[in-house]
Structure 1
Amino acid sequence: MLRRLWLLLFYVPLCAWAQTETRLTWLDNRFRVDPEIEQITFVVTREQPSQSVVLVAPDGRKYYADRHSKAMSWYSDKGMDIISINHPMAGPWQALGKVSTNNGIRIISNIQLDAHQLPAQLYQTEVLKFSARLTQNQQPLLLRDFLDRVQLKVIFYPITSDLSNDTVDESTAIEVGTFADNGHEYDEVAGDGVFTVALNIDVVPGKYRVKIASTNGVFERSVEQTVLVYPTPITTTFTQSHRSLISHVVNIETKPEQIVAGSLAAYLVVKQPQTKPQILQRSTTAPQSQLELTWLNDSHVGKAWWRGWAYVTDALTQRELVFRLPKQNYTQVAIVTPSLTSPLAQQRLEQQLAARQTEQRQQRLLWIAITNIIVVISAITLLLLWRRKRTLKHDLMLPNELK
């Protein structure tokens, strides 16, 4: 029984691994492609130093990294070639070069790119988590050497519409985000074949064709969707204080017809001169549609900034929306009394300053006089005490006859 259990533990992982890739380590580096395969990718690990391999087709044609068929995409990296072929010729293929005897050649076939469906209605400046994954035979593709070199991007193509049809403008492509499978930020697990991106919809409102595609030639796959981008449903204004201990104000207001009342919440990070960053958090309750976040002007002079996030709920779809509040810099300056442009007011101000200076001068003279009087009185007092002491000493002297 124990022996059977060990056999199961040994063979089950091998079977699972065999479903995702085929490894070839034949001495002549030959591998056979079956007729039913529509797309295949060769991951060739080379010894170092070495040049890219030469790929030989069953009919004897040779293909190189810089000279190959249009049906191929060839990615050459240090110590590795990744070659993808659409509708490959059936039969024995061969890779000529310093192929590693340890890793050899891995074959991946029928790769598919699956992406989550984007909401049909997006908002300008919205940020949302978006995922895509690579599969082989409807199973997650987990070949790390391959995944580390995949570069997936999200590209928006504007669509212009007229009465007859829609026209996609390929010349004005807008790159909105790059996927990652590294376990950082929005990506949950590194190397699990699920690529994640925080899409920042920083495009003008309109209709777009969205394309998710590999952009570095590792393989040719893409997914396309059509979306509508609407104007942002929130308005953010910043009012800077120019008076000491009077608050700076960030006001966030939502459009009642688009956003659920009471669903607004906000998070700000504020950095003032000579202080550590502080965090401000507030939320609304029904039926409120706006909120204010404030912090005191601490009168320190220098550069300051704030940034944050706003969270709301879409009234139509009940979708939770996230908006990034971009970093805003401002400068806290010294408090200066505003100048008076009226000549009469200026004259009055000069008279007040002159009167104040006269008063201060009189006060200084008064203090000097008082100080001098105190000094004279103190000197006279000391002199009288000294004379009295001498008189007493003289009276206490003995008569001559008693000496």
Structure 2
Amino acid sequence: MRILCLGLFVLTVAAHAGESDLRVLIDVSGSMRQNDPHGLRIPALKLLLELLPPATRAGVWLFSETPENLISLAPVDRQWKNAAGEAAQRIHSRGRYTDIEKALQTVIADWEAPGEDRHIILLTDGMLDVAPDPALDSASRNRIERQLIPRLQALGARIYTIALSDQADHHLMRQLAIATDGWNETARSAEQLQRAFLKIVQKATPREGLPLRDNRFTVDANVREFSLLVFRRPESPATELIRPDATRWSAADHPDTVHWHPEDGFDLITVDQPMPGPWQLAARLDPDNQVMIVTDLQLKTAALPNHLAAGETLAVRAELTEHDRRITREHFLGLVKFQLLQKGPEEVQKTLIPAPEEAGVFSAATKLEKPGIYTFEVTVDGKTFQRVRKQRIEVLALPVATEVIPPRAAGEPLIVRLTPDPERIDPATFEAAALIASASDPPREMPFSSGNEAFWELPLSAPEAKRRLTVNFHIQARDREGNPLQVHLRPIELEPSQFQTHSTEADKAPQPTAKPIDWLWSGLIAAGVNLILGGAGFFGWRKLRQHARQRQEQLLNRLTT
């Protein structure tokens, strides 16, 4: 059986478990005097800092030839945000070089083992530049591609890059983003930079939201806090927020329970214990305006992969939870409607239906044929409450198809096959190599070989230790007109099981006879220990479970009456 790396991506329901780790790198090289003469980085960084949720550990570094910590790495709270906002004023443009390699190495120095929920935002305006000698620049780039990217992958870090000018190293920025399943943005103005930071922080630290339609949204009694982001243009009138009782608030006139943060280009308004009912925003309509909330009644969806190949299918799954417990009560879920709105080159609206294998989970599948940027919006309407989550992905028109062919028999290698699109690539110019690494082994480079010009293959034997392998691709090719192509293929991961056949000689060999176990005495001993140590824990667990179930029943009864 052959496994094509084009297929079905099943997105299991998940939420960020634990603390997100976000590290921001800001370029302060001298070229920023031309590309950011008005200090656009400062208000944009302030927006990013204000949008970070509490369950985040964050820090900011400035970099040119030597990285400098601007904002200490620490848990995010109001005190940290206030101090970070003041520190952002120290962003400058006095550096000499743009040493991206050293900047990335600095911010990951304390990551010694693989982890989850790790994110790095890299903002730069120029090419990689470490010294006057171009050979040193080339050597640094080579180390990033062949050593640092595999290291970032092994650590579980995603890189989000923002290019602040057309002179930025777009090839390297895109390579870093695709290799780590991060994201790549280009910003040419203050407004674009703020929105680029918004898109990236939404990916790194996604938050619960309320649907905002025609500047109106409805707050239910389960919302403890909401934050409203409103983008403004220079000619826009002052933003006003209208409560359900018709009281009007503004940046100049609002109660102490409201935190109103005005900056050039946006307002961020946080309301604690908001009044339930319909709210209205008096401001210019903007598709990026949004309402983020803190609540125990949550819509949870899985994070989408940031990059897919054209032709792949997404299976989107969603659920409602209360205090992180999935809601499965049929009567309540019968009153709730889950919708998927797909925007982009192909626009689709679907109703999520109950997943047959899991109570309380709703799903829908969508196939993505056309390349481009897509937005997926999952909403739930429970009549007395609404929730929304938005995610963006890029569908890539890859000029090379990737295929994994399992071993044909025991002892034979697995085959990784590359098939260039003959209409887009001149096969005579095609050269490919794989950079193979694991969490504990250094990367090793292996070339692909071809017996013809239709496909190129690389045989791989099973690693001695059963480790997952990550395969990155380095490709050189030209199109039919002779122009060089920049080919960014997504890396593939090979599990130890993929190196096995369905039936091996080891499976057929007789298994050694185990020494008989005296099950009577073992059972008596285990029962006594469990009775002594587990009794109190069992009754405590049962009491907590009953309390959580009663609390959820009370909430559902309130929502359905």
**Structure with the higher fraction of residues in helix conformation:** 2
TM-score by length of 1: 0.32
- Structure of higher CA gyration radius: 1
**Structure with the higher fraction of residues in strand conformation:** 1
